[in-house]
């Protein structure tokens, strides 16, 4: 394997850096998603919304602040803010959470584009080397020409392989971010409905008094 790597020429070193970097980002994003999944508590969200609907905003906010669930923390921001701007406060908090989930995706996106280009660069350099050797030795030394062609094929294959292996998890992570953003939008809408209902309950209590 090491001999094949060396035959690829100098372009194999930046390709190696791309592969290591992409693998690091992928593993970090997988671990981060797993930890977020373990902290997820849908039943807590339902309880917070129920408390909000009854007007017990302080208890609902305390549940969110003490929870490790990112959605509960976003909901707590709206509860702490209160008033008509609570929905906007939740949207800002949601945006911060989404940006955290997108961390490293720009790196993967760059590698998906860069790796094939590096492979093409290695291909061009290998072909140039082959023509130089062919011009210097003619067809008397075909082995020298084959070495340049091998370099071209190895770098192309390496670049495409890195891009393909990075593309699949990248699309998975992007879909996960989009799904999370949609869930946060739904959570904000549910909170506003529950908050509005708490105001109606409060007005009804005042009317009875």
Of 46-55, 93-102, 121-130, give the lowest mean pLDDT range: 121-130
Distance CA 29, CA 109 (A): 14
| Tokens read off for 90 | 């939740």
pTM, entire model: 0.81
> By the 8 A CB rule, do 175 and 93 touch?
no
| Tokens read off for 41 | 């508590």
- pLDDT above 80: residue 12: yes
Mean pLDDT of 28-41: 92
3-state secondary structure of 141: coil
- pLDDT above 60: residue 114: yes
- pLDDT above 70: residue 206: no
């Amino acid at each position: 394997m090491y001999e094949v790597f060396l035959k690829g020429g100098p372009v194999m070193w930046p390709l190696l850096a791309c592969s290591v970097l992409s693998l690091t980002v992928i593993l970090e994003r997988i671990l981060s998603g797993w930890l977020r999944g373990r902290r997820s508590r849908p039943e807590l969200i339902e309880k917070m919304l129920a408390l909000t609907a009854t007007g017990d905003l302080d208890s609902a906010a305390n549940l969110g602040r003490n929870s490790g669930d990112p959605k509960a923390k976003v909901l707590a921001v709206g509860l702490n803010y209160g008033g008509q701007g609570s929905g906007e406060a939740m949207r800002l908090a949601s945006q911060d959470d989404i940006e955290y989930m997108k961390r490293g995706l720009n790196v993967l996106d760059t590698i998906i584009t860069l790796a094939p280009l590096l492979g093409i660069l290695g291909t061009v350099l290998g072909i140039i080397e082959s023509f130089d050797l062919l011009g210097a030795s003619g067809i008397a030394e075909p082995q020298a020409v084959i070495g340049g062609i091998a370099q071209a094929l190895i770098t192309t294959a390496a670049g495409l392989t890195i891009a393909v292996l990075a593309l699949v998890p990248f699309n998975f992570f992007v879909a996960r971010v989009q799904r999370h953003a949609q869930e946060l939008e739904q959570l904000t809408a549910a909170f506003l409905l529950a908050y509005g209902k708490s105001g109606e309950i409060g007005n009804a209590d005042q009317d009875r008094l």
